[in-house]
Amino acid sequence: MGRYLTRRLLLLFPVAFGITVVTFFLLRLIPGDPATIMLDTRATAENVARLRHQLGLDRPLAVQYLLFLRNIGTGRLGESLIYRSQVFPIILGRLPVTLFLAVYATVLAAAVALPLGTWSALRRGRAADQAVRLGVLFSLATPNYWAAIVLLLFFSIDLRWFPVGGYGATFGEHLWHLFLPALTIALSLCPILVRTLRHNILDVLRTDYIRTARAKGLRSTTVFVRHILRNSLISTVSILGINLGFLVGGAVVTETVYAIPGTGFLLIRSTFARDYPMVQGLTLTLASLVILVNLLTDLAYALLDPRVRYD
């Protein structure tokens, strides 16, 4: 386990380096000049040239990239062009909001997917199974932004059950403000988990050791929890870990629709403002989180299946 963890952590460095290269140079391909956007109506040729020099945007791209790497090496991510302060503290202030939303959405998705996937598998071919599969297809075909707008219009504006945006100040207010955003993300994650869990349960039900467990006289609940569900969750956890990256991507759209002050909302604003250091820092941070989640997912295999060994 120790050697496996060390090897995986060392692999983070080349992956992070590749992310910095792609992010840095792709951002420069986006049309628009940060200095012109910042100056707005005062964007004369002289003012733009002066501001570009102050921001270091008139230097060669190779020099700008080396400065970016130097900032990362010293534990900084540069200075935001818009906020005129260090990028890292700003990201740290927004990151807990996005993490709270991601965990909230994951809990909601698991709370819905586990009973639905199990119920559908145990009633294979019946009306309940067909209804669940139809709902899964409908949810897969629903765009994330469309679901966010519909939920916002119905539950926040028409019924006024939930606020139209914001984050709240206390834990209870966080749960209240972020319920619709978390539900929006969970609706896009649930179909994949339901289909995966249903398929896995059906496969496990056909195995010899399940028939042996039943022949030994074990209770149905014991057979299901200790043998069927536990073995079915292994690949389901893998699918969940892989899709957490898409969950973070979905949070960008969801945070924008609901005006949540997280990293996704900040990423959209910074991209439109051509705030290169902020976008680079956010991309590197979010990508590192996805890599870390994938690592934790691999380690979770050992908890679900003691036969798993890390070589």
- Contact criterion met (CB below 8 Å) for 254 and 181: yes
What angle is formed at CA 166 by the lines to CA 163 and CA 170, rounded to 5 degrees? Answer: 95
pLDDT band at 205, cuts 50/70/90? confident
Q: What's the sign of the alpha-carbon dihedral 151, 154, 156, 162?
A: negative
Q: Residue 141 CB: number of other CB atoms within 10 A?
A: 8
Evaluate if residue 311 carries a pLDDT over 60: no
Q: Residue 53 CB: number of other CB atoms within 10 A?
A: 12
pLDDT in tens, 265-278: 888 888 887 788 88
* φ, ψ for residue 86, nearest 5 deg: -60, 140
pLDDT in tens, 33-61: 777 777 767 777 787 788 777 777 778 88
CA-to-CA distance for 140 and 75, rounded, in angstroms? 40
CA-to-CA distance for 46 and 185, rounded, in angstroms? 46
Q: What is the pTM of this model?
A: 0.79
CA-to-CA distance for 204 and 278, rounded, in angstroms? 47
Residue 57 is given by DSSP the state T
CA-to-CA distance for 51 and 34, rounded, in angstroms? 9
pLDDT in tens, 279-298: 888 888 888 777 777 777 77
CA-to-CA distance for 139 and 155, rounded, in angstroms? 18
What domains are there in the chain, each with its CATH number?
A: 2-73 (no CATH), 88-304 (1.10.3720.10)
Per-residue CA distances from 309 to 57, 256, 302, 303 (Å): 50, 42, 7, 11
Whole-number pLDDT of residue 250: 59
Residue 154 is given by DSSP the state I
Determine the number of helices (DSSP H) and then strands (DSSP E) in the chain.
Answer: 15, 0
CA-to-CA distance for 258 and 98, rounded, in angstroms? 13
* φ, ψ for residue 236, nearest 5 deg: -65, -40
Residue with tokens 């909001």: 97
Strand partners, 86: 79
Return the closest-CA partner of residue 195 out of 235, 242, 230, 156: 235
Average pLDDT, the chain: 80
